[in-house]
Structure 1
Amino acid sequence: MTTITRNSLAQAAQEGTGIAHLSPGQAWAAHRLAMPPERLEKPLAPHIAALLENVERVAARKFFASTDRDDTESIIRVAHDEAQPMFLRAPILQTLRQGMVECLPDLTPSGVNDKGEPVYRLAKIAAALDVPEEELLARAEAMGLKDKLSTTPHVHPLH
């Protein structure tokens, strides 16, 4: 069983994962509240479980209020918003990654960034989608994602 420490709780919150007996949302809420690890022992005290559930629910409400569920671009934008909790963003990001693999099987990452996330060359994406690079740049800017594009990323090439 994983021991809950301040560092492991921070890492779980950052990665959007659970830790020990805590769900991803509970780990994020506990980290957000700076709860001492000894308060998170199993079983959770009912008042601690209720507090974590409430904080998680408020975060989810804010997250989903910040997007239009019927607008794909809005969902993509909020999924890439690092100000949002990762436990809410992670499932959407995973679905987007799976979609890229399924829809563009020949598109392969050029490398990975410092976080281990795949990095793609804009030229390769444009070619795979058969659209000009300028159009992709304009769409990224319109969606508020231009800051996710980098001309000098810290990319580690794949072998």
Structure 2
Amino acid sequence: MIITRESLTQAANSGQPLDHLTAGQTWAAHTLCVPPERLQKPLASHIAALLDSVERKARREFFGGIERGDTDAMVARAYDEQHPPFLRLPILETLREGMNEHFPELKPAGYNDQGQPVYALADIAQALDTSEDELLEHAEQRGMLDQLRKTPAPHRVH
């Protein structure tokens, strides 16, 4: 396979590997604007070292400072688009799978500007067999209430 600028961009934005490049190397090459002809197999050792270094830095920034078991921080990082797709998207996919498995009846009320599903608080409360007030109280305790209030109205599902 011949790597092109378009295939590199597409793979980097979707968090996927490309030919002989790992997903992290693909993202690093795209971020650094490495010319595609420099990425052909066999990869030069100095290019491989550069890409691996940039990938390790991204991993340190993504995972750094998060305590073991701090799922809230990890989920927040997964939704933070400043981090690379190859790190964020697998976590988001796992969250989607979990929602579908454990709450199959819960359907999005709409989608945000990035195309991510948005759920109605009343529907979440019903799925969890709790009240909206209790969910709001929980959000306030976690410092998420302002985020809920600032979230723009979703694009409705018809």
Same fold (TM over 0.5): yes
Deviation readout 1:45-99 (Å, 9 max, x if unpaired): 1111111111111111221114223211111111111111111112211111111
Asked if structure 2 preserves the Cα contact closer than 8 Å seen for 1:29 and 1:55, the reply is yes
Structure 2 length as normaliser, TM-score?
0.80
CA RMSD of aligned residues (A): 2.7
**Looking at CA atoms only, which structure, 1 or 2, has the larger radius of gyration?**
2
Percent sequence identity over matched residues? Answer: 53
SS in 1 for 2:54: helix
Instruction: Identify the residue that residue 19 of structure 1 maps to in structure 2.
Output: 18
Counterpart of 2:153, as a letter, is T
Query: 1:67 and 2:69 equivalent?
Result: no
Distance 2:101 2:93 in 1: 12
1:122 matched to which residue of 2?
Answer: 121
Gaps of 5+ in 1: none
User: Is residue 45 from structure 1 mapped to residue 44 from structure 2 by the alignment?
Assistant: yes
2:103 alignment partner in structure 1: 104
Q: What residue number does 1:4 align with?
A: 4
More off after superposition, 127-136 vs 45-54: 127-136
Where does structure 2 lack aligned partners over 5 or more consecutive residues? none
Query: In the comparison of the two structures, how many residue pairs are matched?
Result: 156
